[in-house]
Structure 1
Amino acid sequence: MIFRRFAAPALLTASLLALTACGGNVNLNPMGWFSSDGVEEIALIPEGGFLDDQENRGLVADVIELEILRAQGGAIIRAKGLPPRLGYWDAELVPENFERPEDGVLTYMFRITEPYYRTQTGRSKQREVYVGHFVSDIKLQGVRTIRVVGANNSRSARR
């Protein structure tokens, strides 16, 4: 009875203290079992980036209209594109140079996704695709011209 009451906790405490003094490569130290000392995290990124980061959309065939609309706190760039056939989707104005002007010109690529199957050509009015993009006044500082680029042509508008 006395052993259980005094000796067992004392023996357990002494053995834990003895194990904490262990060092070297032997991992018998219970204080180091849950620590992450010496572990180096490595990020594995494939060459060329992840598939989500890659741009798979092509340029619209023709940019047929470009309009800059004033808005509160900036401007809205509105462009109309004409793909070669029906069914194109997921259109967007993708900024070049991280939306920084180059020689006073802010450039956007008119990107659009091709349909997965063969579609009809249709009339040009049926194929028109509209996109819009808001640009803040801060990003418009120093910009004199906004340019939207397609596969066959580009359109520019002066501010």
Structure 2
Amino acid sequence: MLRVILALALMTSLAACGTRLNPFNWFGEGREERVRVSETIPENPLDRRFLVSEVVDFSIDPTAQGVILRAMGRPQTQGHWEADLVEVARENGALIYEFRVFPPPTPTPAGTPQSREVITGLELSQFDLRGIRTITVVGAENRRSITRR
């Protein structure tokens, strides 16, 4: 009898691997959309950061408490700092962040694309994700989105 119960439990757990019951399957692959975004004023007027030129990569990694958002951006020149994902909208099942960075204090060379990359992240709890179907990160020239399966 114990073997039957264990076999059924194993089959049930394996069957859930490819479904929405498995939290590791909640978000699918991302997609990129090329756009030209006009600079918006952040909610905090003391925040003088600019939109990163391009969002190069965006991923969502599940954790026991929720997810970790990771984004990589590429400004026009080297030396940008204090990158952050700033929430700008939460409506109709969509969560939208702007990827903002401070420019360098003095003019800097453009350098190679890899030398300009800036990475930031943020953690969202299950409570924060309630009702969210799509998460989008916006840069000045593109936006990347990941939709929940």
- TM-score when scaled to structure 2? 0.68
1:96 corresponding residue in structure 2: 88
Question: Which has the bigger relative contact order, CA under 8 A and spacing at least 6?
Answer: 2
* Aligned counterparts, 1:48-63, within 5 A: 54-63=46-55
1:125-156 deviation digits (Å, cap 9, x = unpaired): 11111110101100101111100011111100
C-alpha displacement of 1:53: 5.4
Q: What runs of 5+ residues in structure 2 fail to find an aligned partner?
A: 1-43
- Once residues 119 and 97 of structure 2 are traced to their aligned partners in structure 1, the CA distance between those partners, rounded to angstroms, is 14
- Once residues 64 and 109 of structure 2 are traced to their aligned partners in structure 1, the CA distance between those partners, rounded to angstroms, is 41
1:151 corresponding residue in structure 2: 140
| Structure 1 ranges of 4+ moved more than 2 A | none
Q: What runs of 5+ residues in structure 1 fail to find an aligned partner?
A: 1-51
- Once residues 54 and 122 of structure 1 are traced to their aligned partners in structure 2, the CA distance between those partners, rounded to angstroms, is 29
C-alpha displacement of 1:86: 0.4
1:137 corresponding residue in structure 2: 126
2:62 corresponding residue in structure 1: 70
1:8 corresponding residue in structure 2: none
- Once residues 56 and 78 of structure 2 are traced to their aligned partners in structure 1, the CA distance between those partners, rounded to angstroms, is 16
Matched position secondary structure for 1:126: helix
C-alpha displacement of 1:82: 0.4
Identity, in percent, stands at 41
Indicate the structure (1 or 2) with the bigger Cα radius of gyration.
1
CA RMSD, Structure 1 to Structure 2 (Å): 1.2
- Once residues 88 and 143 of structure 2 are traced to their aligned partners in structure 1, the CA distance between those partners, rounded to angstroms, is 14
1:108 corresponding residue in structure 2: 97
Matched position secondary structure for 2:91: coil
